[in-house]
Amino acid sequence: MTEIYTLEFSWFLIFVVLLTGFSILDGFDLGVGIFHLFSKSDEERRLMLNTIGPVWDGNEVWLVTAGGALFAGFPDVYATLCSAFYIPIMLLLAGLIFRAVAIEFRSKQPMAWWRWMWDLLFSGASLVIALGLGLVMGNLIEGIPLDNQKEFTGDFVDLLHPYAFLVGILVVALFSMHGVIYVLMKTEGALHDKMREWVNPAIILFIMMYAFTTVTTLIYFPHMADAIKERPVFLIFAFLNMLAIANIPREIHHNRDGRAFLSSCMNIACLMALFGIGTFPNVIRASNDPELLSMTIWNSASSSKTLWILHLIAAIGIPVVLAYTIAIYYIFRGKVRLDSTSY
């Protein structure tokens, strides 16, 4: 057994934290995008768009930085992941481009066709991004065929199996629920009431998908539970996850939208933790020979010198980033109203 608490482990932890930050923060942006078209009036759409207005751009940077962290710390993983998931990643990139531009351009012209075009692109792009991320995660749980040079040996069709789509739909449901709760927290009046109607179906959909995916995972990919069997202490994450999910409708019932949102964040963090624990120490599991060919955080990492430098960069940079990110969220706190600074 290799020594676990190493530089590799700690950098992997930082990577997972970055990814969790992205899922929590950009998760609600994507959610808002996914159900954007359900709202029919232009004013409501603008209100929803403006709940994420000042922050979505910074939220996306979490993904960019997570990508950089992966490239730097685990270049082999980054290389195999990107080249194996070529088409999903290209679609993801197209989604990110369209989303950014749609948010920026939509409200700049008054014509109905102009706004509808960007609304469709915004919503479609958000859906594609969420689905794509889920598809990649589903494949990482199941594993992909690798050779002994860490190269992907399958083709695109291998990535399109039902389980990956199941995880994709779970992510869509998760982000939708997260987004509805976020809009609930950031709005008042008629839109707030509407979100209260939407939030229950969103929660029910998520819980159904969550339960079904969990059962499917345990039946078909029992290796995801190995680590927990080995160290039952990790069950705490599953327990916290349940508590967080159960707490969401309770807080909403009591009109405590902020706390409901925090529970939703907690839910995402627990899900990411369970994913990380389940796949560890593999980052990319080799479906053809998991024992021998899987890419772990040990056999795919950069040199310890580089990992040291990266830790230093993170130690200097991340506290500063967190400080001003919190400050910015604080400045834009409170309910959103349309004014002249809005999208």
Q: Count Cβ atoms below 10 Å from residue 327 Cβ, excluding itself.
A: 10
State the minimum distance, in angstroms, from the CB of residue 267 to other proteins.
25
C-beta closer to other proteins: residue 90 or 242: 90
**SS3 call for 144:** strand
* Binding of other proteins by 97 (CB under 8 A): yes
Quick check: 325 and 24 in contact, CB under 8 A? no
Chain Cα centroid distance, residue 117: 26
CA distance 41 to 78: 42
Long-range contacts of 41-44 (CB under 8 A, 24+ apart): 42/115, 43/338, 44/191, 44/194
Position among 107, 187, 282, 296 found at the interface with other proteins (CB under 8 A)? 107
| CA-closest candidate to residue 23, choices 333, 267, 310, 199 | 267
Chain Cα centroid distance, residue 192: 25
Which residues between 110 and 129 bind other proteins (CB under 8 A)? 110
Which residues between 45 and 84 bind other proteins (CB under 8 A)? 53-55, 57-58, 60-61, 63-65, 67-69, 71-76, 78-84
C-beta closer to other proteins: residue 136 or 248: 136
* Binding of other proteins by 249 (CB under 8 A): no
In total, the chain counts a number of residues equal to 343
Beta bridge partners of 146: 152
C-beta closer to other proteins: residue 37 or 318: 318
Span of 201-209, 228-236, 278-286, 315-323 interacting with other proteins by CB under 8 A = 315-323
Size of the site for other proteins (CB under 8 A): 73
* Binding of other proteins by 176 (CB under 8 A): no
Which residues between 278 and 307 bind other proteins (CB under 8 A)? 302-303, 305-306
- In the block, tokens 């593999």 appear at 282
The token pair that represents 141 in the structure block: 């749980």
Position among 108, 254, 335, 337 found at the interface with other proteins (CB under 8 A)? 108
The token pair that represents 237 in the structure block: 């994450």
Q: By rule CB under 8 A, what string of x and - marks binding of each residue 147-166 to other proteins?
A: --xxxxx--x----------
C-beta closer to other proteins: residue 61 or 225: 61
